[in-house]
Chains A and B, each alone.
Chain A
Amino acid sequence: MSAELNLPAAPPRQASMAKFLKSHMRDYGMLISLLAIVAFFQYMTNGTLLQPLNLTNLVLQNSYIVIMALGMLLVIVAGHIDLSVGSIVGFIGALAAILMVQFHWHFIPTAIVSLAAGAAIGAAQGYWVAYFRIPSFIVTLAGMLVFRGLSLALLAGQSVGPFPVEFQRLSSGFIPDIFGTEGFHTTTMVLCLATPAILIAFSVAARMRRHRFAIEQEPLVLFVLKSAGLFAVVAYVGWLLSTYKGLPNVLIIMALLIGLYAFVTRDTTIGRRIYALGGNEKAAKLSGIDTRRLSFYTFVNMGVLAALAGLIFAARLNTATPKAGVSFELDVIAACFIGGASASGGVGRVTGAVIGAFIMGVMNNGMSIVGIGIDWQQVIKGLVLLAAVCFDVYNKGKA
């Protein structure tokens, strides 16, 4: 005999709006909070926030946090933490400064050596975490002290600079305008129209594929609203930047990295394995995943991204100082947690971490313009972090 079981009817192809919104409340909530915060400060600063000059500054100020948040997200999803990234930023900035200013290296070999040094630092820390099972909190706390100390030693307590102009462009440069219009950066505008258009074309294609496979997806209304919103926001930002100096170089680097990491986490076997590792390391291991090597490489990756952030930060200040990067790790980690990553691993999204980083960034910038002192800024940021995570925990308990 066979046990007859009734399967529920095939799931509807389109989730009902209410149900879908409920299950994706966190994602939309994040986006809406960011827009609300932007709107709030735009009002409070009488429009200063979104002035082209300030918008450019906002991007430049936050690029290194966003870039490190990409790596930190992988580390956190894998179930670890990295407290050393701020010190690595300082150390790599110092290293690059010594190479370029004292040894007169060209900026390209300098950058290559710096990124390799970042990888080596990540590998050194990842080795203890992955193969000796020393808690990452302890290993990277040690790293934080060691590399802060080493950057002080490298710089001999002095600031070293300035840097060659080509190197400064990494942070303060803008993409060239191939159209050469006077007073308006046409290339920027074209890129800011084309990029969202291409992204939307891709998601329409994905939607059609999912439709063919009869897979539940986002309700059409939401999809149209979201796409229109994306297009409008990017186009508006593009227009604002076009009336100033155009797209900063660093924004291009940041956008490409965000795209790459979003792809890796969502669509590749490596990304999936990192989530499994953080969700249940033992089960992942027994499923044939080399969990130690995977942990190791998340730290190597973090080291490289921290080194890149170190170069960008040094280029922006046009000098390497012993204090560079102090407490960056806290902003980076906060961005990931505000973005919905779970402290116990296995949960978190690249888009969330990026939005989290911008929430922090807009608040920093907006509060400074409004004239709130650094003291109260910290209090408010701390409370926002706590509120975001409370919201997560509350949501999870309800589900």
Chain B
Amino acid sequence: MDSILEMRGITKTFPGVKALDNVNLSVREGEIHALIGENGAGKSTLMKVLSGVYPHGTYEGEIRFRGQPVAFRGIADSEKLGIIIIHQELALVPLLSITENLFLGNEQAKRGRIDWVAATARARELLRMVGLTDSPETLITDIGVGKQQLVEIAKALSKEVKLLILDEPTASLNESDSDALLALLLRFKEQGISSILISHKLNEIAKVADRVTILRDGTTVETLDCHDAPISQDRIIKGMVGRDLADRYPRRTSNPGNILFEVKGWSADHPIHAGRRVVKDIDLHVRRGEVVGIAGLMGAGRTEFAMSLFGRSYGRNIRGQAFLDGREIDVSTIAKAMGNGLAYATEDRKHYGLVLDNDIRHNVTLANLNGVAKRGVIHHEREIEVANDFRRRLRIRCSDVFQQTVNLSGGNQQKVVLSKWLFADPKVLILDEPTRGIDVGAKYEIYTIVNQLVAEGRGVILISSELPELLGVADRIYVMNEGALVAEMPAAEASQEKIMHAIMSSASKATAARAAVAAAALNNGALESLQ
């Protein structure tokens, strides 16, 4: 079979670090090639070399595209040959329309004057190819992340794409949207477009990939062919981390005590659309030493519930009671909620969790500055000790605690966020998607930390979109849908099918359709287009 892309002996050195060391990657004509590895393994660097972000001459090695050696001086060069990369953080302008975004930098213009009729017609055609039925005049901000991802792909199609590179395209998508996206990749494959798929989600790779290349610490570990023999997830994990993960979830003997924290009749409205109830009459409790999971589709209202509970940081017209050890507590401001033993670690660590320009030390103590200060004066040495202590306990990989958090990998950033909340010493910790976008090894470490927390008698509320994670970590699972809790089950009796069933049977038509797609995908791997 012909290779569309050959990368041979790629070595890329940054001052002091060898990011890539003699890496080889070969992608065949019309295949979906998965590229996986832990955070920091060199996937993104390799793709930056390929797309010309690191121009020819700044790396060693050879790149051949469709048999010809190439030397890109910038992204424009690689795009001209049809190599299009779609980054994890989407490059769309929120307040421009779909059409305007599709042709940004590539306007359908004659002598500088844009032909809007032609542009709209072409936009509609492109949208049809990715299965989007929205009007091309819709603003990007008015469509969900899943659809935005599809717009990015449509944009790639407008550039005559030959090789499509997707960097964790499904990281912020729910299961049904992810499945739609993967289905699209399979359709492209039939049309002869090759793809490189970077993903942490091993089940997705198993579904669509023809071959898998595993990177570890900047070197190629191996390339596996998925058609020779079905590849087990354990096999891939072993390649990524260089060791067997006998169990992806650390064991712990769960021994929940009496009820620690309880919420009764909690409701909240949308902050802008007055009267639209987003969180509906939630009753929930957490026992001492218990991990309680909240499952649900994206948009089920889980984050909204958690944030409205944590000092009313979301929504308006918030009603309900919260109890700690049977006594009602005031959670009306963030300071009061924290004072009463609550903590909330956000799902969006870059925007809501960390002060990225600040170092690890300052981020760790931010939520409990008084813990390192006397009468408002900070004891700097004590602060450094605290930061170093968390660095050791949570195994934060960094050069020292004076490193800016913006330079840390996702997993280590997450550990800094956790450190911050652990130092605030909460009784109940709400973790919102704590392992999103981080690699298998770091996930395992996060689970270990969760286990330590409950072993100390704290309660943990775990919000997660990854059902296996909930099943593996939680003691008890609530299922949330359309703002309300619709089921509760001990993790021992729960299964992915049962949770999906709970969502479907409770749901209105629209959600049921989405849930059905997800459930179908779950049962037999069949891929249905969401649209």
- Interface residues in chain A, defined as those with a beta carbon under 8 Å from any beta carbon in chain B: 1-3, 5, 7-8, 11, 209-210, 212-213, 215-216, 267-270, 272-273, 275-276, 279-280, 282-290, 346-347
Contacts and interface: CB of A to CB of B under 8 A. Distances in A.
A225 B406 CA distance: 33
Contacts, number: 102
Given A275-B358, A279-B358, A287-B420, 10 more contacts: A11-B399, A269-B369, A269-B376, A269-B377, A276-B362, A279-B357, A282-B351, A283-B351, A284-B366, A285-B313
Interface in B340-376: 344, 346, 351-358, 362, 366-367, 369-370, 373, 376
B354 to A, nearest CB: 6
Contacts of B310: 286
Contacts of A212: 381
Interface residues of B, number: 48
Contact of A279 (B352, B355, B369, B399): B355
B74 interface: no
Contacts of A2: 250, 448
B227 interface: no
Contacts of A216: 400, 402
18 contacts: A1-B247, A1-B250, A5-B395, A268-B378, A269-B377, A272-B366, A275-B362, A276-B355, A276-B362, A279-B357, A279-B358, A280-B357, A282-B352, A284-B355, A285-B313, A288-B335, A288-B338, A347-B357
Nearest to B367: A287
Contact of B352 (A5, A7, A209, A286): A286
Contact of B354 (A11, A213, A273, A283): A283
B367 A1 contact: no
Given A1-B247, A213-B385, A269 B370 contact: yes
A8 B399 contact: yes
Contact of A283 (B250, B333, B355, B378): B355
Contact of B400 (A11, A273, A289): A11
Nearest to B338: A288
Given A346-B355, A347-B357, A276 B381 contact: no
A280 B354 contact: yes
A210 B369 CA distance: 20
Nearest to B448: A2
Contact of A268 (B377, B384, B424): B377
Contacts of B61: none
B445 A3 contact: yes
Nearest to B402: A216
Contacts of A283: 351-355, 366
A3 B441 contact: yes
Nearest to A8: B399
B334 interface: yes
Contacts of A5: 395, 397
A5 B242 CA distance: 12
Query: Top 9 closest A-B pairs, CB basis?
Result: A279-B355, A287-B367, A269-B369, A213-B381, A280-B355, A288-B338, A287-B366, A11-B400, A288-B335
A272 B371 CA distance: 13
B354 A270 contact: no
Interface string B238-266: 00010001110010000000000000000
B380 interface: yes
A213 B395 contact: no
Contacts of B367: 287-288
A209 B381 contact: yes
A273 B313 contact: no
B110 interface: no
Contacts of A286: 310, 313, 334, 344, 346, 352-353
B444 interface: yes
Interface string B209-245: 0000000000000000000000000000000010001
Interface string B479-505: 000000000000000000000000000
A216 B357 CA distance: 20
B327 interface: no
A198 B351 CA distance: 43
B111 interface: no
B273 interface: no
B404 to A, nearest CB: 9
B392 interface: yes
Nearest to B247: A1
Given A213-B384, A268-B376, A276-B366, A7 B351 contact: no
Contacts of B346: 286
A309 B152 CA distance: 54
Residue with the highest number of chain B CB atoms closer than 10 Å, among A8, A210, A213, A286: A286
A275 B334 CA distance: 19
Contacts of B376: 268-270
B369 A273 contact: yes
Contacts of A288: 311, 334-335, 338, 367, 424
Contacts of B370: 269
Contacts of A285: 313, 334
A279 B247 CA distance: 39
Contacts of B362: 272, 275-276
A44 B351 CA distance: 51
Contacts of B402: 216
Interface in B447-461: 448
Contacts of A3: 241, 395, 441, 444-445, 448
B363 to A, nearest CB: 8
Contact of A215 (B250, B384, B391, B399): B384
Contacts of B420: 287
A12 to B, nearest CB: 10
A284 B250 CA distance: 32
A270 B448 CA distance: 35
A5 B38 CA distance: 14
Contacts of B358: 275-276, 279, 346
Given A269-B369, A269-B376, A287-B420, A215 B355 contact: no
Contacts of B313: 285-286
Nearest to B407: A399
Interface in B290-316: 310-311, 313
Contacts of B392: 7
